[in-house]
Structure 1
Amino acid sequence: MKKEKKTSSILSNLLIKLAIVLMVLLIGSYARVRWDFSKNKAYSLSQVSKDAVSNLQDNMVVKLYSSKELPAAMLILDRYVKDLLEEYKQAGKGKFHYEVINGPSPEDLKNKALQYGVGAMYFRIFENDKTTTKEVIYGLVFEYQGNFESMNVLPKMQNQLEYQMTLKIQKITRYTLPDITAFVDTLYTLMPRQKYENELYSNYNVHFTNLLEPPPKTHVMIVHSGYDSLSITQLYNLDQFLMQGGKLVVLADKIFSDGETVMEIHSNLFDFLENNGIKLSSDIAMDIFCDSRQMGVDTNISFPIYPVLRGSQHPITRNMSNIIIYMGNGIIFNRKPGLKFQTILATSTRSALLEGPDYQLDSRLFFNPDPDVFVNPPIPLGAIVEGRMESYFKEKPQFQRSDFVSEVKDGKIVIFGDRELYVDPDKPIYENRYQIILNAVDWLMGREDMINIRSRHLQESILDIAYYMHKNNLLWGDPAKTERRIKMEVKIIATLLPSLILIAVGGIISLHRKRTKEFKNEEI
């Protein structure tokens, strides 16, 4: 009798637990609840993305054109794309829809995708005991009120996928973008800047100015400085933009190079900056962690005058890396009363200076950088100056107009010591460096949500050797060769260690059995 009651009790408990599990699964299928325990909610849709789809006036349809069989390199990305689409759908209040299009045949899929601007990708894969090339279609098409925007989704794009998708949604829905002003001169028009400008227009409603007239009264102005001094009119209009409450993002350095010689330039913009607490060094900042180029089969040439930087803990540069600076100048705070200075971007503790006005660089540093040369502390190449600022024209009444403002109590300037920070780099690894300019603009406007999705995943893994060496200021010979050697050692250890562990465990078990057997024999 007791046995029957016990069996009945066990079955009852089992049925209750099974019912609870089924109920949770049923509720979950409708609620679609997801928990994100990652750092900074890296896999949750940000508020700015939710806002972009929560106020849709009409239905939006997103079509994912995808080959049926994806290579292994695309599987994690594919899962992430579909998770994001599901989150956009939940935030869209019934007006955001998506569908996956796989066929009916690979050729039909390719033709349909090409009509919308989604191109093919090619992967080298190992299949049927041989290496072959596989053509893959994978991209998104956003359709809204008769218009469409397309987007190729590429491997390793997971870092900025939400950011790029939200930009497309904002563009096609004519989302109201914030207004900013941008000062440009002739130099800007001569530089390759397509990627920078595309993203600039996607994020802001940009009003370009030459400062010959008072600029639009926007919250922020980006100052793309050139080689020459500004006219008095231009400098006055820039000064009054700041005095009347506008914030500045300034790109400036003191170096001009024609490829053969390096010269220091002189501009009244530097006097204006110094009046507001900022002095630019005439020396070129160098770092042992720098760009390198391969020459021939096995020769790497280092360019210490092109330091490669990692961001700080400040939102403008946080989580960002591979920020290359082309012959930048250090930023010095002249400790003007009423102002605060904060470094947001700097070289490593293995830094050096190429001193002007001669700028003589030892050619040996290109082939085998001597660690003993790079002994300077970090050199600031990005900084924020804020506080009470006085007009550059305060003591120049002859230039003052009727609406002249002599000071501002909460002035803010974000400055980077590289005039060409917006220029498209020639290496894909550096292609996102200009985004610190956009981050600076958004920080000054209080749009930190946009900063978070733009640079959310850009930081390398802590297992990345170059990142680990840089973070801990370690230098073991040539960084590139050291990285290759350590990776090879790790591969060898990872291959041999499991076998060695199995052999060791087997030996211990065998020894234990042998001793147990001997002990039993002794008892007999």
Structure 2
Amino acid sequence: MTNSGVIRRVAGKELALFFASPVAWLFLAGFAAASLFIVFWAESFFARNIADTRPLFEWMPLLLVFLCSALTMRMWSEERRSGTLEHVLVQPTPLWHFVMGKFFACVLLLLLALAATLPLPVTVALIADLDWGPVWAGYLATMLLGAAYLALGLFVSARTDNPVVSLLGSVALCGLLYLLGSDLLTGFFDTEQAETLRLLGSGSRFESITRGVIDLVDLFYYLTLIAVFLTLNVYTLEKIGWARVANTPRQRHWRAGVTLLLANLLLANALAEHWSLPRWDVTEGRLYSISSPSRELLSNLQEPLLIRGYFSARNHPLLAPLEPQLKDLLLEYAEAAEGKVRVEFIDPLEHPELEQEANQRYNIRPSPFQLADRHQTALVNAYFNLLIEYGDEYRVLSFNDLIEVRTSTNGQPEVLLRNPEFEVTRSIRDVLYAYRAGGDLFAGLERPVEFIAYVSDAALLPDALLAYRDSVVAQLQRAVDASDGMFSFRFLDPQADDGELARRIQQDWGFTPMTHALDSERDFYFYMTLADAHQVVQLPTADFDPGQFRKALDAGLRRFARDFTRTVALSAPQPSAQMAQYNLGGPGFANLENAIARDYLIARENLADGSVSPEADILAVVAPRDLGEAAIFAIDQFLMRGGTVILATSPFSVEPEKDALALRDWPRGKLRDWLRHHGIEMANQLVLDKRHARFPAPVQRDSGDHQFRDVRIVDYPYFLDIRGSGLSAHPLLGSLPQVTMAWASPLQLERRAGIRINPLLWSSEEAWLSEDDAITPRQDETWSAPDQTTRHLLGAMLNGRFESYFQSPPALPETTGEGDGIGTLLKRAPGSARIIVFASNDFLSDRVLGAQVRATGTQYLGPIELFSNTLDWSLQDEQLLQIRSRGNFNRTLPPMEPQQRLSLELFNYGAALAWLVLLALASWVLGRRRRARYRRELGL
């Protein structure tokens, strides 16, 4: 019989014996039930609200300890107890054939057991956006770890004739192998020692693969374990037939061969840690590998870039496992940069000079952590920081920038890397641009830019503007001298040649004649623009103050420069302490401001003065209230200059009132008329949706004749869960998978000539409208939807040649230079002008984001990422759009009714039971055929 024939017959025999035992079925059913129970109950799958299968694989190393020990407990011990092992030992077939036959039988049984869990990822994929890469990687890791445990269990079984002793011995050894690399043990050691233990333990490598990164080093580790224990199994069986006191050449050869084989396998495994072996990131979007925008950025490096990691040897146990993941990512930067990036890892406590430099030059300080060892609890100051340095420019990332802390369903903190590639790439971009620009705007220009001023003859200009014109010319000449040919200027008289140019600029840009208060009959022009081959930008006159011109010029040039930090003019309500009385998150828009400040300069804008800062590149108006004519004029004229205006506005806002939530009318003043002028209307209603998020809302509870208010996490249809078809394919949305819109109103847009409309956000088809101001949930209340539901537009972008809302400049508050009485009004915007509107006052607020934290257990920044993407796209800074939304908790489950959740859970239990019944039926059919074949062979 061939070698494969022996292995196949041994495996077939073991499978038949296994399925003939009731205990075997008990183990298979117990494994399936335990796996699903852990997912749905211990890990609270639906409350966790993340569309992945991590809960299944997190517990798999422990479940496999018992399953694999149960599968192998009788394999050799039963042979020894019954005396059939002697028959095996005297066969001419090598012993390793029998070992491999039993091993393959156990592996097949493990596969059949794992198949009972397959309905779980299928269920998640049907109801949400599942990344299948980590799922298949998780099953691969399970098979490798299970195969290693099976090999160990076979080795233990071969050393005893008692199945119970084999079971207990296998559980102990497999458990020890897992414990070596677990946080339970490594927390008692410093970082270097803990990392060594993780390399020896089976659990840490398992976690690395299940997150979606298949490293050849990890595969080699598991294959080494399998080979070691299968070799020891063969050697154990071979020794049984030896005389106790003999020392024959055959025995010496066996001992030497086994020793050399094991030593080589262990040595190769140790050396593999220092080899640069391939790794495969199988996650969708390659979440754990640097992406093409990062590689493109690295290709622009001209000087060496330093990335230095400051990691203490003794760090917090929850941060220690993240350190190797972060190091692997940083080493990828070095590899992708082909020598232009130098990566260093140091422990500042072991290098006092580097620690002093970190403290004094980079302001890197250790963070205090409370640690417990075998003897005491102590407060330790530890480092977990990154330094990115390019030339004399640098950025520092602390552990707050790098990690995400999530409260798991069992109340324990879960610490993961947030989105390290985004943070590191953004820092590299910042230092690169700052170094290349070096304060010189013209260094960032990709194409020549021309300053074109449409200015009347000096005889028509007021005396104040003559001096202003002379100052502008002098400043422009200095700019030309410093631009190295990238900048030029010219002045054109619109009233020359019978006013042909005046008619053209009025038609194209809405540039109408200006007047002076002291001489209203004398018209003149004084408009300033910047232009290249692709766009035209108008510069604000800043009340014709010569001291403000250079600021306006620099702000305009930044619109054309790639390598300069842009300025966002932000108008948002100031914090109010009343907003936090229900502990629903901090007041105001601090999270929004912090997000903007990480990439851009912020100019806090007071629109009431009738103007927008001349340095502003984009205007964001969030939750505007009671905007007067001066504020609308500021917004209108910023738009007319070709700017982008982002609006987050709605007729309503929600505020706490005593023990409830109050829906307040939110007077927007003249803004409503201005939006209507541009064809944008918002109904005085709120959108509710069956596809909604959860919310920790005040809930009214009735008890007898009394009413009480509790704060509970409830399904809340006013928190619209937007995903899938609700997110347009516009690049502005980047890779954003989901957004929650709170208390939003429906948008209605009227198509106008010359205006392009791009819908951005829609509710689902199961949405409806309500005018009811009773928005506080009651206990056990179900929100009934009408028979007719439809989707509603919640966000849109309008782009094109807008017409000004004003026919003449309004009376503005007195400001510096206003006394000159020069009336300036732009009546038509260039084609680059945009209005981006989101129909909610509150979806960006801290209290709403804080509510999402309490509802999901993790920091929720979907709306902030949407706003950041909007800024990036609008300012043509799209480099980070692809990787901004690659965080850990973006894939969430859709809203579901309790009955639907119960049905899905029961479906998984039923599918596992059906699989076991199918196995039992197949086993019975095969057994019947086998018995029939034996009868025919015996002539019965």
Q: Same fold (TM over 0.5)?
A: yes
How many Å separate the matches in 1 of 2:926 and 2:592?
63
CA contact 2:755–2:802 (8 Å) conserved in 1: yes
Pairing 1:366-405 to 2, within 5 Å after superposition: 367-373=780-786, 375-393=788-806, 395-396=807-808, 401-402=823-824, 404-405=826-827
Q: Give the corresponding residue for 1:303.
A: 716
Distance change in 2, residues 1:235/1:51 (3 Å): same
CA distance in 1 between partners of 2:590 and 2:776 (Å): 35
Cα distance in 2 between the residues matched to 1:430 and 1:452: 18
Report SS of the residue matched to 1:226: coil
Q: Output one character per residue of 1:24-70: Cα deviation in whole Å (capped at 9) or x when no partner.
A: xxxxx999887767655553333256526843755523215276899
Query: Would you say the 8 A contact 1:70–1:136 is kept in 2?
Result: no
* Letter aligned with residue 663 of structure 2: V
Shift of 1:437: 0.8
1:208 alignment partner, one of 601, 604, 609? 604
Structure 2 counterpart of 1:352, from 759, 768, 778: 768
Higher mean C-alpha deviation, range 239-248 or range 329-338: 329-338
Cross-structure match for 2:930: 513
Query: Which amino acid in 2 is paired with 1:514?
Result: R
Deviation at 1:452? 0.9
Q: 1:411 to 1:81 in 2, by over 3 A?
A: same
Shift, 1:203, TM fit: 1.0
- What's the CA shift string for 1:59-117, capped at 9, x where partnerless? 52321527689979986x55642332122213445453223457999xxxx9x999945
1:88-237 to 2 correspondence within 5 Å?
A: 88-92=333-337, 94-101=339-346, 116-117=364-365, 119=367, 139-142=384-387, 144=389, 145=392, 149-152=396-399, 153-154=402-403, 157-158=416-417, 160-170=419-429, 174=434, 176-187=563-574, 191-211=587-607, 212=609, 213-216=611-614, 218-232=616-630, 234-237=631-634
Whether 2:831 is the aligned partner of 1:409: answer: yes
Q: After the TM superposition, which of the residue ranges 46-55 and 421-430 deviates more from structure 2? A: 46-55
Alignment of 1:65-76 (within 5 A): 65=311
Larger radius of gyration: 2
Find the aligned partners of 2:396 and 2:680 in 1 and give their Cα distance. 43
For 2:872, give the aligned amino acid. D
- The match for 2:749 is 333
What does residue 696 of structure 2 align with? 293
Displacement, 1:192? 3.4
Match of 1:320 in 2: 736
- CA 1:123 to 1:488, structure 2 compared with 1: closer, same or farther past 3 Å? farther
Distance 1:418 1:408 in 2: 28
Tell me what 2:880 maps to. Answer: 450
Q: CA deviation at 1:429?
A: 4.3
Q: Which amino acid aligns with 1:184?
A: S
Residue from 848, 864, 867 that aligns with 1:434: 864
1:49–1:166: 8 Å Cα contact kept in structure 2? no
Indicate which of 67, 74, 84 corresponds to 2:329.
Answer: 84
1:515, 1:273 → 2: CA distance?
84
SS at match of 1:420: coil
CA contact (8 A) 2:426 2:880 kept: no
The whole-number CA distance in structure 1 between the counterparts of 2:650 and 2:368 is 41
Distance 1:186 1:158, change over 3 A: closer
Query: Counterparts of 1:447 and 1:500 in 2: how far apart (Å)?
Result: 58
**CA RMSD after TM alignment:** 4.6
Shift of 1:302: 3.2
- What is the CA–CA distance in structure 2 between the aligned matches of 1:68 and 1:436, rounded to whole Å? 38
How far apart, in 2, do the equivalents of 1:446 and 1:484 lie?
A: 47
Counterpart in the other structure of 2:656: 259
Find the aligned partners of 1:217 and 1:508 in 2 and give their Cα distance: 81
Q: Which string of whole-angstrom CA distances, capped at 9 and with x for unpartnered residues, describes residues 404-454 of structure 1?
A: 243433432111112234322212442342121111111122333311110
**Equivalent position amino acid for 1:404 in 2:** L
* Partner in structure 2 of residue 60 of structure 1: 306
Segments of 5+ residues of structure 2 without an aligned counterpart are 1-273, 405-414, 436-562, 578-586, 700-708, 812-821
Q: Secondary structure at the match of 1:343?
A: strand
Structure showing the higher strand proportion among its residues: 1
Residue 189 (structure 1) shift: 8.3
- Check the 8 A contact 1:45/1:88 in 2, yes or no: no
Q: How far apart are 1:170 and its partner, in Å?
A: 4.5
Q: What code does the residue aligned with 2:696 have?
A: R
Q: 1:287 to 1:51 in 2, by over 3 A?
A: same
From the superposition, tell whether residues 56 and 498 of structure 1 become closer, same or farther in structure 2 (CA, over 3 Å). farther
Contact 2:768 2:786 in 1 (8 A): yes
Q: Deviations over 1:122-166 (max 9, x none)?
A: 999xxxxxxx9xx99783321535966232143565562211222
The 8 Å contact of residues 179 and 207 in structure 1, kept in 2 or not, is answered as no
Amino acid at match of 1:154: I
Gap runs ≥5 in structure 1: 1-28, 125-131
Q: Give 2:598's aligned amino acid.
A: S
Contact 2:567 2:600 in 1 (8 A): yes
Partners of 1:512 and 1:100 in 2: how far apart? Answer: 64
Question: Is the Cα–Cα contact under 8 Å of residues 388 and 428 in structure 2 kept in the other structure?
Answer: no
Q: Does 1:483 align with 2:901?
A: yes
8 Å contact from structure 1 (residues 287, 305) kept in 2: yes
- Tell me the equivalent position of 2:35: none
Could you tell me the percent identity over the aligned residues?
19
TM-score (ref. length: structure 1): 0.73
The alignment status of 1:248 with 2:248, answered yes or no, reads no
Letter in 2 for 1:270: R
C-alpha contact (below 8 Å) 1:381/1:416 kept by paired residues: yes
Report what 2:511 is aligned to: none
Distance change (3 Å), C-alpha of 1:244 and 1:85: same
Question: Following superposition of structure 1 onto structure 2, how do residues 454-465 of structure 1 map, counting pairs within 5 Å?
Answer: 454-456=884-886
Indicate if the aligned counterparts of 1:230 and 1:268 stay in contact, CA closer than 8 A: yes
Q: How far apart in 1 are the matches of 2:626 and 2:349?
A: 60
Residue 690 of structure 2 is aligned to residue 274 of structure 1: no
**Paired amino acid for 1:86:** L
Q: Which moved more, 1:156-165 or 1:37-46?
A: 37-46
Where does residue 419 of structure 1 map in the other structure? 841
What residue number does 2:174 align with? none
Q: Distance in 2 between matches of 1:49 and 1:198?
A: 27
- Secondary structure of the corresponding residue to residue 645 of structure 2: strand
> Retained in 2: the 8 A contact 1:302–1:367?
no
Q: Is the 8 A contact 1:292 1:300 kept in 2?
A: yes
